[in-house]
Amino acid sequence: MGPGAYRFVDWLAAAGQTWWQVLPLGPPDRYRSPYKARSAFAAWPGLLADPRAPVSASEVDEFRARESFWARDWERFGGRGALADQVRFDREWRELRAYASSAGVRMFGDVAIYVAPGSADHRAHGELFRSGMVAGAPPDAYSASGQLWGNPLYDWPALRRRRYRWWVERLRRTMSLFDLARIDHFRGFVSYWAVPARARTAAGGRWQRGPGRAVFDAVSASLGDLALVAEDLGVITPPVDRLRKSLGFPGMVVLQFAFDPSDPDSVHRFENHTVDRVVYTGTHDHDTARGWYSSLDDPARLAVDAELDRVGVRDPRRPWWGLIRLALASQAQVAMMQAQDVLGLGSEARMNAPGRAAGAWRWRMSRGALTPALARRLREATEAAGRLVRE
């Protein structure tokens, strides 16, 4: 959150962009995954610009009182100085967010649906989690054996008896930090993949019923309407779609899923995009746009080129820019692209490959990589698509 973050805000503003989406901010696990953070509430001190900034005892006391639902749990888990780091984070984040807001850039957060095993939340609220089963995803295009995440599963009846307060407080904390937040694995609120705890793969799991809208009704009753986006990728059934629409949450579409000739009705196809969506060139779980395009066989690449030509956005020299322009041309209300795609980086810059624990979450943007020339190009593309916000 030091000078580099402020330079990034300046670059986004110059490029005509109004959203900065980040991965979860919690302390990551040993594989650097922010989706298995050591706390669903605390932020990672590794993001601090000044980790030695003075913090008074009164500031810690005030923070402990304000964040009373989780602060003492994190203090017991993190040890001496844990809350001082959170005071530093809130101070720096507040200043960065105010700077971004003054530049017309809003912050877009990410809420991992599950907590990490052995995390501060798991230890402090063991009564809210099941034993004998863990989280995962069924076999799909990412993995023939499914994805064995290993996160604790919620004991939804136990949460219901407590009026879902843990989720209410979690989203209270989230919305104190962000203008908008994505609910990861939204389909898990309808039904979730439960895997025996000792299984070696997720293939032997089974679907089990989730709480539906009850969680969000409890949140709304306490906090009012929240600006949330549903991550509705994967096996999406009509009940999942009905829940999202009934709550008024935008869903997601990803252009890398948009060109399957066997699925003309896919929500990801450009002609099927609707305004109640956020469109992505790719997410942290996908290859970069350049890496993905390069990996296509000739028929698939020709199909992508034909679609880009049809919409009038093809860039033969830089096909990843054709995909960026396609996203901007979408009917979706927000268009997001990875920094790697703006930079035109290949598969070496991929953030995460689902189903593999090691080797992910390592890409970092080089200082000065986002140049004024790239800002002008993205701004021109944004303006050509009619998305440029003018003050």
Is residue 259 assigned to a domain?
yes
In the Cβ-directed half-sphere of 37, how many Cα atoms lie within 13 Å?
22
Structure tokens at 266: 């896919």
Q: Do residues 210 and 164 touch, judged by C-beta distance below 8 A?
A: no
pLDDT, one tens digit per residue, over 123-154 is 999 999 999 999 999 987 767 888 899 999 99
19 with 121, same domain: the answer is no
Residue 63 lies in a domain: yes
What's 152's domain CATH number?
3.20.20.80
Please tell me the distance from the alpha carbon of residue 328 to that of residue 325, in angstroms, as a whole number: 5
Say what the pTM is. 0.95
Which of 85, 107, 129 lies at the terminal end of a domain, its last residue? 107
Examine the domain organization and report whether 208 and 81 are in the same domain: no
**Does 75 share its domain with 113?**
no
User: Do the domain assignments include residue 354?
Assistant: yes
Report how far Cα 303 is from the mean position of its chain's Cα atoms: 29
Last residue within a domain, chosen from 67, 87, 107: 107
Catalytically active residues, by annotation: 184, 231, 285
The answer as to whether 215 is a domain residue is yes
**What residues make up the domain containing 284?**
108-384
The two structure tokens encoding residue 300:
């698939």
d(CA 290, CA 298): 15
Q: Are residues 153 and 201 in the same domain?
A: yes
Instruction: Name 161's Cβ contacts closer than 8 Å, sequence gap at least 6.
Output: none
291 and 353 part of one domain: yes
Inter-residue contact 27 to 121 (CB < 8 Å) = no
Which residues lie below 8 Å from residue 391, measured CB to CB, with a gap of 6+?
A: 104
Looking at the domain assignment, is residue 186 inside a domain? yes
Maximum pairwise Cα distance, the chain: 65
Q: Calculate the CA 378 to chain-centre distance.
A: 22
Instruction: Identify the segments of the chain with pLDDT beneath 50.
Output: none
Q: Let me know whether 154 and 92 are in one domain.
A: no
Looking at the structure, do residues 185 and 311 belong to the same domain, yes or no?
yes
Q: Could you tell me the end-to-end alpha-carbon distance of the chain, in angstroms, rounded to an integer?
A: 26
Domain match, 38 and 15 both: yes
Q: Are residues 251 and 371 in the same domain?
A: yes
Dist CA 163 CA 348 (whole Å): 45
Residue 149 lies in a domain: yes
> 354 with 243, same domain?
yes
Query: Which of 107, 136, 171 is the last residue in one of the domains?
Result: 107
> What pLDDT score was predicted for residue 183?
98
Q: What is the pLDDT of residue 142?
A: 65
Number of structural domains the chain divides into = 2
Are 170 and 290 within one domain?
A: yes
Residue 68 lies in a domain: yes
- 166 and 35 housed in the same domain: no
Tell whether 226 is covered by a domain.
Answer: yes
